[in-house]
Structure 1
Amino acid sequence: MSTETVTISRLGAQGHGMAHGPDGPIYVPYALPGETVAIARNGSQGTIMSMAAVSSDRVEPPCRHFNPDGDACGGCSLQHLADAPYQAFKRDLVIEALRSKGLTPDVAPLVACRPGQRRRVVFSVRKTETGALVGFNRAETNHIFGVVECPISSPGIVGKLGAIRSVASSIASGIETFRLSVTETISGLDLAAEGVKPLGDKQRRRIIETVLLAKGVARVTVNGEILVEPQKPLVDFGGVLVSPPPGTFLQATREAEDAISSLVLAHIGKAKRVLDLFAGSGTFSLRLARIARVHAVEGEEKPLKALDHAARNTQGLKPISIERRDLYRRPLTPQEIKPFDAVVFDPPRAGAEVQVRELARSSVKKIAAVSCNPLTLARDLSILVEAGYSIRSVTPVDQFLWSTHVEAVALLDR
């Protein structure tokens, strides 16, 4: 390990400051463009030792757990960057991903995310002598940093950290770390633990007793099994109430979901039949059914059942048909897509390359693509553009505040 002084030229894709070294780039966490820093260097990685020049874009982090100078929570990486350059960085992640595939469409300003909007967080949990340690992994490690506040999370989650710890303590056994997904719903918190050892009867009773004493917990699931459900968790998809299955996908913030849905619905316009691929529990399907007939396709059975139940119990919707189908192994063909006026797809981070190649061969007029990974989105869009589609707009949406993750909505037609 060596010590040297470097000047940061820009931020890398992971939010680390980048400096030019004689043998390649040097990545310095928590350093900002324009700063001159003395670093302890280990290969291409640098740790700040002192700062000779500080960027005017550096701000005081809003959370006590964000501490670039020492032991810190690793949940956020960019709390020290001012709003304007932070938002430009997020937008540039989308622009650069598109450019890497030769795409240069207009990219709208970032739809901003504000503190206190996250309704879904995933904690790491481990049993200790004093109870359960609940928090996020320290930066670059697997060690848990216990949190007592979290400015990105909704007040409904932060205000219930005590209840979350109590339930986590009743679940924890041994020294193994497990994941606890916490989702704020209309009827209370939905807690889903994964990676837990098989439970004995005594522990099951303890968990149930703890949940019944805790206020504001709607459901607790362990390794996919519902242990206790005082209230059925409910989320609102455009005025339709849905009870999603445990641990199912949900947009991280309600505000981002509304923004994305508005873009999708405006693009779909007067389409009479819409195909919703990777439909989940109906984030888009149930909104689209206000204006069009919808065919929802999803690989998992439980989200589809939740969608179907909500549709059947809501008045004023046009018909929604459902189909369970693995779109990676068996994508819809151009012939199957032919009856539809528009297609919406919102795949996992891996994107939808196999399905997109079939879409590219179809005659569907309008496509709305939603993605949490700009790189796979750019790949999928390039396939569609090569087949004759035009990108009308791309809008980056921030729902992962102070991280390097960004959502994007691309609207295409031909």
Structure 2
Amino acid sequence: MAEQVVIKRLGAKADGIADTATGPIFVPKVLPGETVTIERDGSRADLIGVDVASPEREVPFCPYFDECGGCATQHMKHGFYQSWKQETLAHTLRQARIEAPIEPLIDAHGEGRRRVTLHVRFPDRAMHVGYMAARSHKIVEIGFCPIAEPPLKEQAPGIARAIGEHLKAARKPLDIQITNTQTGFDVDVRGHGPLKDTDRLSLIDLAQKLDLSRLSIHGDAIVERRPPAIIMGRASVVPPAGSFLQATRLGEETLARLVTEACERSKRIADLFSGSGPFALRLAEKSEVHAVEYDQGSMTALDKAFRATPGLRRITTEARDLFRRPLLSPELNAFDAVVLDPPRAGAEAQAKQLAVSKVPLVVSVSCDAATFARDAAILMSSGYRLERVIPVDQFKHSPHLEVVGILRREVAKTLSRRR
């Protein structure tokens, strides 16, 4: 049954919150102060219409915005959007009882996302290709994605559909990740499982027709016609299929600039959760770096890029699960600085080891404000001071935010610890 409510505020995921006699109701794609008509489903609601619009509302630029779950904030004017993201981070820090100056939000969208993941599903006799609707497994079929880099924007849906056509006999749900690299598209398909020889040969032919650089199934390369290279500083890296990559080129460059500026006086640096080296390869222009990452393929790619790039200081690599086996304080004490860039779960175990170490500088990069705050609080309780908090918006039009925190051990507490 439809009902009318007034939106009081926004939550951390950009949903509007209406207070009712039965509790808060969460409504997507609305703004504070708006009167809207909704249909409830428990504490969630579908938006039926906006009856009284906020002056901060604008027309979304994507024709799929109302249905697609990929973007959540295109209806916000830019100034309001920036303030909301900044305040969301400030609120998260306050909840963790952290007081630190938050710098202005840096827009790092650049030309757009350099990687998209499209879904192929067969809920009926037809094949459906696109993104998921919000809080649903329903596919919203798209012809283009306006927040992707220009080559991906128009071509990615067609590539996903062509691959789906070649694999549709199995009718398995497919997730097709397409990355725009220096040498063309790098495509990794998940969900199908092992291929028959006929399917493998068919995909090799398709990769040639689509002019793909590399085509993989579950990270296993079916064909590599050109090494799918990513430029990181002065180096050219070929990451493993489907491995972690910052969402935008400008986002990576911005984060790397903030990290290298913070570490410019450090001679020996540990780059933990290093991936294929977006920070390590830039830091090595001035410092020795020890890079640690769980995935051996990423470590191999980083080492190969380092050896092929003249003029870099030494980079050593170590494949290690930092959740189960964090670097211990005696190991950490060999470094002048530690860079952390963990997954969304954060780096709690590693932060606890840093807290009892003598490392003077920690640069924390996080894609989750809550785990950033948790890990920073651990360090601050042992004598680190959070000097800077820099929000970086490379996940534009979404609630997600990158945070860079620069933590320095206070000299007085360091001296007392050594005594």
Same fold (TM over 0.5): yes
Matches within 5 A, 1:75-224: 75-114=70-109, 116-126=111-121, 133-161=128-156, 162-215=158-211, 217-224=212-219
Residue aligning to 1:272: 267
| Counterpart check, 1:62 vs 2:58 | no
Mind listing any 5+ residue stretches in structure 2 that lack a counterpart? Answer: 410-419
Q: What amino acid maps onto 1:400 in structure 2?
A: F
User: CA distance change for structure 1 residues 109 and 23 in 2, over 3 Å: closer, same or farther?
Assistant: same
Query: Cα offset for 1:365?
Result: 0.7
User: CA distance change for structure 1 residues 172 and 116 in 2, over 3 Å: closer, same or farther?
Assistant: farther
Residue aligning to 2:7: 8
| Counterpart check, 1:256 vs 2:259 | no
Instruction: Calculate percent identity across the aligned residue pairs.
Output: 40
- 1:21-50 CA-partner distances (Å, limit 9, x unpaired): 123211111221110123223332233334
User: CA distance change for structure 1 residues 194 and 50 in 2, over 3 Å: closer, same or farther?
Assistant: closer
Residue aligning to 2:369: 374
Query: Cα offset for 1:3?
Result: 3.9
Residue aligning to 2:302: 307
User: CA distance change for structure 1 residues 364 and 115 in 2, over 3 Å: closer, same or farther?
Assistant: closer
Query: Cα offset for 1:98?
Result: 1.2
Counterparts of 2:110 and 2:32, CA distance in 1: 24
Residue aligning to 1:20: 19
Query: Cα offset for 1:131?
Result: 7.7
8 Å CA contact 1:63, 1:149 repeated in 2:
no
Q: What amino acid maps onto 2:201 in structure 1?
A: R
Counterparts of 1:322 and 1:277, CA distance in 2: 10
2:283 to 266, 281, 288: 288
Q: What amino acid maps onto 1:58 in structure 2?
A: R
Counterparts of 2:58 and 2:108, CA distance in 1: 17
Residue aligning to 1:408: 403
Q: Indicate the RMSD between aligned Cα atoms, in angstroms.
A: 1.7
The TM-score, its normalising length taken from structure 2, stands at 0.94
- 1:195-253 CA-partner distances (Å, limit 9, x unpaired): 113211111111111111113x1101002210011111000111210010100100000
Counterparts of 1:190 and 1:311, CA distance in 2: 22
Q: What SS is found at the alignment partner of 1:171? A: helix
Q: What SS is found at the alignment partner of 2:213? A: strand
Residue aligning to 2:416: none
Deviates most, 357-366 or 9-18: 9-18
Counterparts of 1:123 and 1:44, CA distance in 2: 29
Counterparts of 2:342 and 2:167, CA distance in 1: 32
Counterparts of 2:182 and 2:129, CA distance in 1: 23
Counterparts of 1:41 and 1:135, CA distance in 2: 26
Counterparts of 1:49 and 1:292, CA distance in 2: 56
8 Å CA contact 1:127, 1:174 repeated in 2:
no
User: CA distance change for structure 1 residues 298 and 380 in 2, over 3 Å: closer, same or farther?
Assistant: same
Aligned residues: 408
8 Å CA contact 2:333, 2:358 repeated in 1:
yes
User: CA distance change for structure 1 residues 294 and 26 in 2, over 3 Å: closer, same or farther?
Assistant: same
Q: What SS is found at the alignment partner of 1:331? A: coil
Q: What SS is found at the alignment partner of 2:90? A: helix
